[in-house]
Structure formats: C-alpha cells, structure tokens
Structure 1
Amino acid sequence: MQPLDGNAIAGVMHDLFARDLTTMGYQCTGCGKTGVVAEMAVYASGPGTVARCRDCDTILLMLSERRGMYCLDAPGMTHPILPLA
C-alpha cells in the first residue's frame, strides 16, 4: 500500500490545534532524521491513522477517534517545533 503524505492529516490536526501543523518540525527517535509533518508517510486505512518516518519506518504519530474524542500519541517524535502562525 502506498502511503499518503502528512497533508492527509492536516484537517484533523487543524481541528484539534486551530492551526496548520503540516509545517511543524520534529526529530525521529529511530534514526534522528529531522523533518516536518507534511513529509511523514501516513497510513489511514486502519481503525486509526499512523504516520511513520520515511527513512526508518518508526511510528511518529498515531491518531484515532472514538465517540467524538480524539486520541493522539507521538511516540517517535522528539523536539517538536510548532509553526509561528
């Protein structure tokens, strides 16, 4: 299955944080690569959405929704840098 890019989660992230987070910077805990959310490999075909590092396949972000509540976990991301606007 071909992954989507991080723009696939832009709408939900905007709903949760009231800002565009596709330009949020991060560092992968698996390989140390730095990047932005828009560059993540996103898989959205399961019960939730999983974003992985394109270099080492580490799970960077997991997002799921149940009964109107969102659960967000970022086990593979360090040093998040939020965009200014």
Structure 2
Amino acid sequence: MGIVDGNAMAGLMHDLFARDMTTVGYKCGSCGRTGVLAEMMVYMSGPGTVARCRDCDAILVMLTERRGMYCIDTPGLA
C-alpha cells in the first residue's frame, strides 16, 4: 500500500479514542504546519502505521500493535 491520507487511520483511531479523530487539529513541531489528522500523509505498509507532515515529511504519529496492546507515539507534534 502506498501513501494515503489520515482518513485511513479513522477506524483504528475511533476504536482507541471513542470519537472521530479525523477532525482533530495538530501542529508540526518541525515546520509549524497546522491542519487536521485527515490531512496527514499516512504509510501503512510497514510493521505499524506512520503519519507524516505534508510539508516537511516529519514523523507526526506512529501507531503499532504488540501483543494486543496499541502503542501511540507522537514525536513530531508541537
């Protein structure tokens, strides 16, 4: 699977947060871009899901599942 937008994470994010997360705002800690989760560039072909900034390609969100638990890391969010 190639690059998709943040809507591809909508189901999983709803399961984790019990609400529609696609309209939640963010700010990139690297370039300062602001937007909503639905606008992020998402890569789902690896061992987890990685969402990157559309402007500078910084990693904003990483989602992985291990032994039935989800781990969420947000290294690029300001």
When the two structures are superposed, what TM-score results if normalisation uses the length of structure 1? Answer: 0.88
Which residue matches 1:57?
A: 57
> What is residue 6 of structure 2 aligned with on the other side?
6
Q: 1:81 maps to which residue?
A: none
Q: Distance in 1 between matches of 2:39 and 2:6?
A: 6
Instruction: Tell whether the 8 Å contact from 2:41 to 2:54 is kept in structure 1 after alignment.
Output: yes
Task: State, as a whole percentage, how many aligned pairs show the same letter.
Answer: 73
Amino acid in the other structure paired with 2:17: F
User: Number of residues paired by the alignment?
Assistant: 78
Which residue does the alignment assign to 1:41?
A: 41
Q: TM-score, normalised by structure 2?
A: 0.96
Between the aligned partners of 1:14 and 1:26, the Cα distance in structure 2 is: 17
Q: Is the 8 A contact 2:23 2:36 kept in 1?
A: yes
- SS of alignment partner, residue 8 of structure 1: helix
Letter aligned with residue 59 of structure 2:
I
**Quick one: distance in 2 between partners of 1:39 and 1:13?**
14
> Distance between the aligned counterparts of 1:41 and 1:74, measured in 2?
14
Deviation at 1:22, TM superposition (A): 0.3
Residue of structure 2 in register with 1:28 after alignment: 28
Contact 2:13/2:21, CA 8 A, preserved across alignment = yes
